Every structure is written in C-alpha cells, then in structure tokens.
A and B are shown apart, each in its own frame.
Chain A
Amino acid sequence: MPAVSKGDGMRGLAVFISDIRNCKSKEAEIKRINKELANIRSKFKGDKALDGYSKKKYVCKLLFIFLLGHDIDFGHMEAVNLLSSNKPAGGYLFISVLVNSNSELIRLINNAIKNDLSSRNPTFMCLALHCIANVGSREMAEAFASEIPRILVAGDTMDSVKQSAALCLLRLYKTSPDLVLMGEWTSRVVHLLNDQHMGVVTAAISLITCLSQKNPDEFKTCVSLAVSRLSRIVSSASTDLQDYTYYFVPAPWLSCKLLRLLQCYPPPEDGAVKGRLVECLETILNKAQEPPKSKKVQHSNAKNAILFEAISLIIHYDSEPNLLVRACNQLGQFLQHRETNLRYLALESMCTLASSEFSHEAVKTHIETVINALKTERDVSVRQRAADLLYAMCDRSNAKQIVAEMLSYLETADYSIREEMVLKVAILAEKYAVDYSWYVDTILNLIRIAGDYVSEEVWYRVIQIVINRDDVQGYAAKTVFEALQAPACHENMVKVGGYILGEFGNLIAGDPRSSPLVQFNLLHSKFHLCSVPTRALLLSAYIKFINLFPETKATIQEVLRCDSQIRNSDVELQQRAVEYLKLSSIASTDVLATVLEEMPPFPERESSILAKLKKKKGPGTVSVTDLEDSKREGGELNGGGERGPDTAAMASSNASTPSPSADLLGIRSAAPVGAAPASAGSLLVDVFSEAGPAAPSAAVNDDGFLRDLEQPTETCDSLLVEGSGDSE
C-alpha cells in the first residue's frame, strides 16, 4: 500500500518526501531542502514551545534529509529532548544515526538512557538498550557496562529485555572489552542456554560465543548444554517449535548459532556428550538426503545453512573420519547442483576440507568436476572458488595437471584476480617441481600470459632458482632466448632474459643461431621499448657479454659510447653507461673476469611469494602447502584442535624463522654463508634497482550509477510476489 502509512501518519513528512521526489533536478532538490531546513530551524528557535508531535515530525524530516546525503548540524538537542517525552523512538533513531561527540549532549543522552533502563517499562528499556547497541561508544560503555549484565541475569527481567540486553552487552564487549568484567553473571549467562524462550536463547548464544572465544575456560560448561539443546531441536518435529519453525525447518538460526558455538571448542571429552553430538551431526547429514518438505527456496536455504554449518564443525574437529568422508561426499553432490549458490558454497567448504589429512584424498577425487567448473561456470565468483580449491587440493600427484589448468584459466581470467592467480601458480610450480625445466617453462608462460601481473617476487625467484641449479641453466638460457624472439614480448620477459643471458649466454653461444652477436642484437632490439629499470638491467647484461664474449666488445662499446647512453637524462643509466664503458676499456681480461664472475648461489630464505600471498589473502588462509611446510619444520601441531587462525599463525611463524632446515627447494642443506644474506640481498637489489611495472588498476567505470535525478522510477511492485525478485 503506497503513500498512506500506518500508525501515525505524519502527513507533513509524507508531503515533504513527495516534494523531494518530484524535484526534477539536483538544484531543485537542494533548494527545497534548504527551504525546509530554514523552516525547521526557525521552528526550533521560535518562542512557541513545540508539541511532541511536531517535534517528532521535524526530527524525522531532519533524519530524512541526512539520509539523502546532506549534512545536518542542528537538531541534536531537540532529539535529545524527545528522549524524555513519551515518544522516544524518533529521538533514539536520530541519535543512533547522527552520533557526535558533543560532551554535553552525551551526558544528557546517557541520563535519558539511564532513566529508561531503570523504568520498568520493557518498551523503553528495549529502546534504551538498542540505542546503546547502535552507538556503542566508549562513553556509553563506561556508563553502562556494569549495569547491563545485571539486567541480563536478573530474575524479573522480561524476556524481550533479556534478549536486547544480551546483544547490547555483546556490542559493548566487542568495542570495549576491558570495560566488561567477568563476574558472577558469567555462570548465569551460560544457563540462559536452557531458557524456555527461544528468542532469549538465540540472543544469548551470540553473546556466549563471543565470550568463549576470549575466555574459553570460563564458559566451557556451555558445550554440553549446547549439545543437548541442539539435539532437542534437530530431533523435533516441525510442529513443535511453532513460530520458530522457518518454512518447515526447526529453528535454523538457533541451530546454526549452536553449531558455531561448538566450533569454539575442541570435541567434547565426555563420551556421552560426544556420542549425542555425533548422532546430531549424522541426523543433519541424513536429512540432507531426504526429499524436501517444501519446494520453496527458503526451505532449502535454511536446511542447507544448517548443513553447511554442521560440515564446518566436522571439519573443525577433524577427528571423525566417517563424518569427514560423508561431508566430503555431500559437498561433492552439491558441486553439481542446479543452484549456483550451493555450488559456490560447496567449492568454498571443500577448500577447508582439502587441508585435512583424513579427507584430502577424498577431495582429490573430485578434481575433474572442479576443473570443469573452472572452465564452464558463468559466474566469475564461482570460477574463483574453483581456482582456490584447485590450489588447495594440489599435491605431487596432480600438480602438473592443475598448474596447466590454472594457466589456461589465467588467459581469460578477470583482471582483478590475476595477480593472486599468478602468485598461486608460481608457488605450486615451485613446490611440486620434480623437473626444474618444467618450473622454468611454467614461469615463463606466466610472464607470457599475464606479464603485467607478475610481481617482482615471482621473477626474482625464477632467477634465484636458475642460478642455484646447474642442471637447468642451459635449458633456461635456451628457452629464454626463444621466448625473446616473439615479436611482442613483455618487459618482464626482457628482464628475465637479460639477466639469464647475461649469466649463462655462453651455454648456448656455440649454436650459430644463438651466437653472441645474435643474442646481443636480440636484447638490444628491445632496449628502446623498455622502462628505465629494465634498461639498467640490460646495460649490466651488456658488460657481462663483454666479459663472456670478447668478440662483441667493439659493438657493445659503440652502443655504450653513444650519446643516448652516456648523456642519458636518467642518472642511473648514465652512470652505468659511463662506468661500464670505462671498465671495459681499461680493465685487463683477468680483472674483468673477476668483477663479472658468475653469480654465487643464493642462500635459502622464506619464500617471499608465499609471504606476499598470505598478505594478500589475509591471515586466515590455510592450505596444504602451508600445513606441509609447518609439519616438516615445526613438528606436530596440536592434535585435533584449534584450526584456522592458530594454524596459519603457526605456519607463518615457523616459516619465517630462517632456520637452515627451511629448505623449500631441497637444494642446499649447508648452512648459509654468514654475511651473505645481507650482501646477496643488497646485490640483488642493486642489479634490479627499481620495482617492476605496476599492475594497471581494474577497469572501473567511474561514471557511476548515481545519475542526475530523473523522474521517480520505483515501482509499486510488491517485494514479495513470486517472480518479482531473483529467479533462483
């Protein structure tokens, strides 16, 4: 029903809103708003005391103007006055939206709230609690943090107030944890889990979950209570819970919250409790196989929400092989489900499943489906999850296949995800390379396909590996030479090529097709297309050529001598040209050979690529690669226990201690040369100077959707009619 509103009409407000909507241009709107603001200002300042209704109307108008996007700098006092009237809701709404740190007002607001909290009227108490939760500022926390727990556990508090108090306390705890002190109320809070009123339980659980994360020991009695509550819900018929049944699913929110609470703790030690819980989980898994009780998508969403949460719990425990395999099978079924949402979530869940040792093998069986999803899914977010899953399930047996698939995906991938994909492919290629020529090929392919997104770490790494491994140097030189012959060749390729040919060009110089002069001409043909840092690198390669191939000395000196080098406006290039020219003229062959000796092997360090990926994805990422590293280096992780942030933190802290055994490549087990890390690092920096090309920003259409005002186009379509929303 449009326009005519229920309850208190506030016709003045409706008229004002219509006026705004009928404005044909932004200027007209601003004019109308200013007129109204002037009107309200004069009314607020006027001699006549406004009655409660008008005050509320004007406060609402101000709120509307603010929500349109204009700033409001008055009206706060009036809103606060409304708090003490018998219609405080408008005032509270205004304050929650337009909070400012005016200390006078805050004192008044807090006073009003205090009054409402101590009134016996549940509506006022709830409004006050809502305001505290919405604003949640430190001052409010200081004023009320001790009062609210008392209200929460008092015997005579009404249910609705208890609910609000629980979540309000949660909010305060999140913003100012130090002000909420554990006390006698904590044990009573746990018992709220047994409350008859489902709404109270729902609210209390969120609070308990958050508190348990910070103080697990204090709240561990909640585990058995949660399990019994959960099994009561899961085994109840759909008519038992009346209004808490959602489309034939009993209490889905409550069930999910209980399952989430259980994820804060390790599996219960008590045999009976554990047995009940396993039974619950099996029931949930069984229900997924039953035919649905309703065709509506809400029913399946609610049912599957519980299922996914249960699977998360099973993964978290990581101790029941039977359940894990069942979960994996269930997810496997979802991978091919009709609904895109379910496919998305299945891919996401499987990522976590892939890192568990019990189910890793089971996950791998689905590799063909996942690869198919990568190729055929129309939704880019689903494709991205598929790529993540491939990364997670990669191990020695399927590395080649997976890297090949990821490379071909990269050719058509969305720009926003390319950098991450490149990092992942690089990590996988390095980790599972049995044959390093394959590794070199992969990285060069990466540069060819997505050169712009290949960050420094990636191509530094390939060079480090080529330098450290004698057996692949010749192959690398040959491959790079061939790659450079492509007509349009990415600058990163030139960098890698320049460096490798500079070091190992002699290995292919025997072949007349890649003779020294040919190599030099090839590199120099790209010279003018490159940025300054690349040119600097190429100059270094040239001087190395002079050392390796004395017959090219004249040609190269000619190049170095020309004005565009020795009078180059860039200081670095000019310096290099001049110094290299001089060096080549006055140094004897022995001195030159010593100065330009082949690079020594690099010492082992933590893979910077892995560090970069972790930084990009955030701290919660755990994958097989990380876990394998930490298991190898650090010994056993805590059995059957906390997963997620703890594990990632351990993995990264294990990886970052530069122990001699942190030998990702298995190349050198000898202790690294003492001061070498610093000098090798600085030498690397010196050679490569500035960073590589910056990734172009994703193409965002900045014209935006917020065009000038047009005629109102909102329809009177009812929101809930079938078919008027998304079709799935």
Chain B
Amino acid sequence: MMRFLLLFSRQGKLRLQKWFTPVSDREKKKVIRDMVLLVLARQPRSCNFLHWRDLKIVYKRYASLYFCSGLENNDNELLALEVLHRYVELLDKYFGNVCELDLIFNFEKAYYILDEFLMGGEVLETSKVAVSASMEEADTLQETMEEYMSKPTY
C-alpha cells in the first residue's frame, strides 16, 4: 500500500500532500523535507526508485513537478510508476493539458481526483472513463447554474 504521495516543484514547493496513514504534523514535515532533499538531489538519468528508512520511494518528474510516493516493502515499483502516470493522465483528462498552475489554483479538485483513484493507499479504480464520469457527476452536484452565473469576486 502507498503510505504517502507528494507533489513538489523543482524549488521544493509542495503542491499536494496526501497521507494514507495517520502521521503527526511534525513527522509529516520531516518526511516532506527528507523527500524533497532526496529526490531533488538525484541525477537526471538515474532510476526512479530509492530506499529510504524501511520504505521504497518511487518518483517521477513531469515537466516542473515531481511526483513522489512512498511504498511498503512488498509493493511493486513498476506498478507504482504507472499509478503516478495514471494520476497524471486523469488530471490531464479533467483539466485538459494540465500544468502546474492548474494544480495550484484548483488544488481541491486535484485531491478529489486522487480520491476517486486511490483510497487507503490502494488503487480503487483504474478505468479512466469511470473516474472522469464520477468527477463530472460530482461537479454537477456541486453547483447549480444560477450560482455559476451570480458569483461574487471576493
């Protein structure tokens, strides 16, 4: 099972953090710091896997964002790489040509999409069609037409 998933930029700014086990705030900060240091220090052509404490770390860079996940020792690393890729595909499908700015301004949507895809650290649904369908449904549930028309700006 996945223990955590972090997204951060090349400058080490955290864009998304998802924890699949209860972790104290202090421990979270420590893990984030360690991950950022470890991953950003990697050479460009090295492999995507690392060992850290008793976990396997799988990371991949997409444009300016690093996707970094921590797995337990008996998990399949290649599959985790594909989990990250699938997540990016889902984001891409939802936002259309997703980029880092999308994730900054719509962070809550990024979390929702992640929730449709992973739960408790395990893969919930791998069909792109199914996930996009439920996101659409959730969106329509979230607001009515008149609200959309009469939004204040601040």
Chain A residues proximal to chain B, CB less than 8 Å: 1-3, 5-15, 17, 21, 53, 60, 63-64, 67, 69, 86-87, 89-90, 93, 123, 126, 130, 133-134, 136-137, 160, 163-164, 167-168, 170-171, 174-175, 198-199, 202-203, 206, 243-244, 246, 251-254, 256-257, 260, 298, 301-302, 304-305, 308-309, 340-341, 343-345, 378-382, 384, 618, 620, 700-701, 704-707, 710, 713-721, 724-728
Contact = CB atoms under 8 A, between A and B. Distances in A.
Contact of B95 (A6, A63, A704): A6
A202 B45 contact: no
B78 A5 contact: no
Contacts of A136: 22, 120
Interface in B23-38: 33, 36-37
Interface residues of B, number: 85
A620 B125 CA distance: 31
A6 B105 contact: no
A202 B104 contact: no
Interface string B111-149: 110010001101111111110001001110111000110
Contacts of A13: 105
A345 B78 contact: yes
B98 A718 contact: yes
A8 B109 CA distance: 10
Contact of B45 (A175, A244, A301, A340): A340
B127 A6 contact: no
B101 A3 contact: yes
A345 B119 contact: no
Nearest to B34: A700
A718 B63 contact: yes
A443 to B, nearest CB: 27
A171 B22 CA distance: 11
B86 to A, nearest CB: 8
Given A2-B102, A130-B119, A344-B47, A123 B141 contact: yes
B46 A7 contact: no
Nearest to B93: A720
Given A93-B108, A705-B37, A8 B147 contact: yes
Contact of B37 (A700, A707, A716): A700
A202 B65 CA distance: 29
A203 B126 contact: no
B27 to A, nearest CB: 14
Contacts of B129: 243
A714 B107 contact: no
A301 B85 CA distance: 11
A727 B138 contact: no
Contacts of A309: 76, 79
Interface of B: 1, 9-14, 17, 22, 33, 36-37, 40, 43-51, 54, 60-65, 73-74, 76-79, 81-82, 85-86, 88-89, 91-92, 94-102, 104-109, 111-112, 115, 119-120, 122-130, 134, 137-139, 141-143, 147-148, 151-154
A715 B101 CA distance: 7
Contact of A381 (B50, B99, B111): B50
A637 to B, nearest CB: 20
B48 A6 contact: no
B60 to A, nearest CB: 6
A715 B36 contact: no
A279 B68 CA distance: 36
Given A89-B142, A202-B124, A727-B45, 6 more contacts: A133-B119, A260-B74, A302-B78, A378-B45, A381-B49, A717-B99
Closest 7 CB pairs of A and B: A705-B12, A305-B78, A171-B120, A340-B47, A379-B46, A717-B63, A2-B101
B102 A5 contact: yes
B120 A168 contact: yes
Nearest to A251: B126
A254 B50 CA distance: 25
Nearest to B59: A726
Contact of A168 (B81, B82, B119): B119
5 contacts: A6-B106, A89-B138, A717-B99, A719-B88, A720-B97
Given A136-B22, A714-B100, A704 B37 contact: yes
Given A137-B22, A345-B77, A704-B33, A340 B46 contact: yes
B11 A707 contact: yes
A618 B98 contact: no
Contacts of B37: 700-701, 704-705
A75 to B, nearest CB: 14
Most buried by A among B22, B63, B73, B108: B108
